[in-house]
Amino acid sequence: MTVQPALRSMLDAMAAAPPADPTLGIEQRRKTMDELTVAGFVSVSESGPAMFEEFTHRVPVNDGVIRVRTYRPEPGGELACYVYIHGGGWWLGNIDIYDESCRAMAAHLGCVVASIGYRLAPEHAFPTAAEDCYAGLRWVAMNADVLGIADSRIAVGGSSAGGNLAAVVALMARDRGGPSLRAQVLDIPATDLMMTSASIRQNGKGYVLTKEGMEECRSLYAPDEADWTNPYASPLHATDLSNLPPACVTTCEYDPLRDEGEQYAMKLVGAGVPVTMQRALGHIHGSHHMVKLMPEAARYGDTVVTFLRQHLA
């Protein structure tokens, strides 16, 4: 189908916008891009209610410290936990930007959400983000008693680059003997840094996320080409996807990442992993979260919530 009509004015405005100033440093560019993300995407995504408890934890990782923010929607005993990893091409975003969506997910699921604030490229290139996210998952599982969660009911998920990292964390957890995961949510994931799929050629210009932008993200995160086929950078290149947790994979019709997300889903199916797969028709990268702009898009989030409720029960 054609692009959702509600997105047309946004696409026209993006096409008419002046190019980014190439003289800006990485910190200023990151600040500008994060502001655009909040204005263009987060502001029209679902907001969540106040939580019973929110804590920001400082978690030691290799050569540093990361933030992990936990959201508890209700008092009581042990709850399941959804470990969430934000997107941003591995060099943008932070846990503050996604506060509202984490609150919404915690409320929908009735579980604790733990948002992982991994370190960003290019200051911290591959494999830092992946290792930080795995360390964050291990910290959550090891501190289950303190956090009031059941360490046997943990899922991991993320969007875009966060979907990439969620898939990688699931691989790491399997390869390294835990923690045990009930499910993985891979929302519009990047799975192949080789960037050879047809959807990149078809949708790589004119739909906000561009091939040029993806190449820049890759150059910042994985500047060494030898890493592009490493399964912990490109999970599509993993030779063995067996014994991974059930997956929910969402793609968007006009997204350059569409094909590699669907290819990974089918490769999981081939390895015997249960997969729930959905394609958001008429949507561009991430627009299926814009429920304040397009209320009917809520059905894609509903699928994820249903999936997680089933597997975290």
Are 280 and 29 spatial neighbours (Cβ–Cβ below 8 Å)? no
pLDDT in tens, 87-117: 999 999 999 999 999 999 999 999 999 999 9
> Which pLDDT tens digit goes with each residue over 147-169?
999 999 999 999 999 999 999 99
In CATH, what number does 5-312 get? 3.40.50.1820
Residues present in the chain in total = 313
pLDDT digits (tens, 9 = 90+) for 270-313: 999 999 999 999 999 999 999 999 999 999 999 999 999 999 99
Interatomic CA distance for residues 159 and 231, integer angstroms:
18
Whether pLDDT at 23 is above 90: no
Q: Does position 20 have pLDDT exceeding 80, yes or no?
A: no
- In percent, the amount of the chain with pLDDT more than 90 equals 93
Residue 16: per-residue pLDDT: 80
Would residue 151 show up in a list of annotated catalytic residues for this protein? no
Catalytic residue from among 255, 259, 287, 288: 255
pLDDT at 21: 81
User: Which member of 160, 197, 199, 234 is catalytic?
Assistant: 160
Is residue 145 annotated as a catalytic residue, yes or no? no
- Run of H or E including 154: strand 149-159
Which among 70, 85, 151, 74 has a CA at the least distance from the CA of 118? 85
The reported pLDDT for the residue numbered 140 is 98
For residue 56, what are the contacts with CB-CB under 8 A and spacing of at least 6? Answer: 67, 68, 69, 95
Residues 220-226: what's their mean pLDDT?
98
Instruction: Respond yes or no: is residue 288 known to be catalytic.
Output: no
Q: How far is CA 199 from the centre of its chain?
A: 19
- Return d(Cα 93, Cα 33) in angstroms, integer: 9
What is the pLDDT at residue 9? 86
pLDDT at 305: 98
Choosing from 285, 288, 289, 311, the catalytic residue is 285
